[in-house]
Structure 1
Amino acid sequence: MKVLVIGANGQVARHTLSKLKEEGHQVVAMIRDSSQADELVKLGADETVVADLEASFDHAFDHVDAVIFAAGSGGHTGADKTILIDLWGAIKAIDTAERMGVKRFVMLSSMGTVDPDKSDRIRHYLVAKKLADDHLKRSNLTYTIVRPGSLTNEQAEQVIKLEEEIQIRDNAIKREDVAIVLARVVNLENTFGKTFEILNGKTTINDALASI
Structure 2
Amino acid sequence: MTTLVIGANGQIGKQFCELAQQAGTPIKAMLRSDEQVPWFKERGIDTVVADLEGDFAHAFEGCDQVVFTAGSGPHTGPDKTLLIDLYGAIRAADIASEQGLSRYVMISAMRAEDPMQAPEKLRPYMAAKFAADAHLRTSGVPYAILKPGRLTDEPASQQFADSLDEAGDNQISRANVAHALLHTVQNANITNQEFMLLDGKRPIGEIIK
TM range (shorter): over 0.9
Moved more, 128-137 or 31-40: 31-40
Match of 1:12 in 2: 12
- Corresponding position: 1:3 with 2:8: no
Q: Deviations over 1:75-100 (max 9, x none)?
A: 11111110000000000000011112
Q: Deviations over 1:154-174 (max 9, x none)?
A: 2101001124xx467624111
1:115-130 alignment, distance < 5 Å? 115-119=114-118, 120-130=120-130
SS of the aligned residue for 1:186 comes to helix
Cα pair 2:195 2:207 within 8 Å, conserved: no
Segments ≥4 residues shifted beyond 6 Å: none
Structure-2 change in CA distance of 1:21 and 1:115 (3 Å): same
Cα pair 1:17 1:43 within 8 Å, conserved: no
Q: In angstroms, what is the RMSD of aligned CA positions?
A: 1.6
Match of 1:191 in 2: 190
Tell me by how many angstroms 1:151 deviates: 1.0
Which AA in structure 2 matches 1:96?
I
Which AA in structure 1 matches 2:52?
L
Q: How far apart, in 1, do the equivalents of 2:109 and 2:99 lie?
A: 26
SS of the aligned residue for 2:73 comes to coil
Tell me by how many angstroms 1:190 deviates: 5.3
Match of 1:177 in 2: 176
Match of 2:73 in 1: 74
Structure 2: gaps (5+ residues) = none
Moved more, 154-163 or 138-147: 154-163
Which AA in structure 2 matches 1:11?
Q
Tell me by how many angstroms 1:101 deviates: 1.9
Tell me by how many angstroms 1:23 deviates: 4.1
Structure-2 change in CA distance of 1:145 and 1:169 (3 Å): farther
Moved more, 58-67 or 18-27: 18-27
- Corresponding position: 1:155 with 2:162: no
Q: How far apart, in 2, do the equivalents of 1:121 and 1:2 lie?
A: 36
Return the TM-score normalized by structure 2: 0.93
Structure-2 change in CA distance of 1:82 and 1:22 (3 Å): same
Which AA in structure 1 matches 2:106?
M
Structure 1: gaps (5+ residues) = none
Structure-2 change in CA distance of 1:169 and 1:139 (3 Å): farther
Which AA in structure 1 matches 2:156?
A
State the identity as a percent.
Answer: 43
Which AA in structure 2 matches 1:7?
G
Match of 1:38 in 2: 38
Q: How far apart, in 2, do the equivalents of 1:27 and 1:188 lie?
A: 14
Match of 1:83 in 2: 82
SS of the aligned residue for 2:91 comes to helix
Return the TM-score normalized by structure 1: 0.92
